[in-house]
Structure 1
Amino acid sequence: MMTLAMGSGAARLIGVASIPILTRIYSPEDFGALASFTVLVSMISPVLTLRYVVALPLPRRDGMAMNLMALSASIMGIMALIVTVGLWLLAPLLMGLLSMEVLVPYWWLIALGVTAAGVYELLSTWATRRKAYITIAKTEVLQSLSGSLLKIGLGLLALKPIGLLVGQVVARP
């Protein structure tokens, strides 16, 4: 438990340490787009696997757990396809209804972020089953560092707000 806490704490510290730099690079409007993006991805992500991944640590035998993982991955693939096609066809309408028009050009990144979050949840739950806590902690730190560096680098290249959004997809554990 201490390993996970230290990894998560280090990842959070990296994110917090990057904030003073990011606030010099990006505008408040860019951070508003990031907040909308994060909320939307966080709301859709649990639907992707229908939360079957939560049951991965429960079976006693790895064979049953592997079947559950295959089921979760299959459901995730189908749901990711539905979300992607839905956003492709209806992004302007849906974003308009949610007052998130700023995200219309980034509909594809929302689909990618939702899928990445689902894949990470699936793999980290499997790693929890295998008691690979050091791997989970290292992954969180690496994701946070990569995401923060990406946000800074893309911001310096004047890719705004997409730099924040892409960095969030990478950094999101």
Structure 2
Amino acid sequence: MSKLLLGLEKEDLFLAVFDHHTDMQPPALLPVLSCGSWIRDAAGAYQNIKGICVIGPPEASVRETEAMEHVWFVTQEELDDGSGAAKIKEVFASHAGTFPVYLSVDKDILSKEELDTNWDQGNVRVDELLSLAKDCLAGRKVLAVDLCGEPSANAPEAECSAASLVNQKLYGALAAKIED
């Protein structure tokens, strides 16, 4: 969905993605858009994306990802050791210029204690995610925020309620940034 929404945006922008996966995998057989390739596809398709910062994938996944120009990673390990926030600020200060930000959050970046998704997960807390997102958005126009990583339609009620609560926290905290 993020790739499709980005296609509607005509303004130059910087893409900030919080995700436990790189989402930059080449297609296995056919050139089909998938959740594992959307960032790679968007970077190649839209000239108005001036840079991308992917925050949260494990270092091993980043090493397996083909390098692309104007794409920077902040790894799970950097978030874990406390250096991630400083690196995010450095990436944005050095590479995002004055471009507005499109923010995409995949909830698989969150720890299982915060929300149990049906994917391999990171270990970020909601309050940490909000703090890091605010670092990305500080002093910048926000074009859009999208959240993904919803439970399946047949997920237990408790899982759906937990995801809804996380959505409310994230959207509630980020709404003021969007309206600025």
Smaller-chain TM-score bracket: under 0.3
Q: Which has the higher strand share?
A: 2
Q: Which has the higher helix share?
A: 1
- TM-score relative to the length of structure 2: 0.27
Structure with higher RCO (Cα < 8 A, 6+ apart): 1
- TM-score relative to the length of structure 1: 0.28
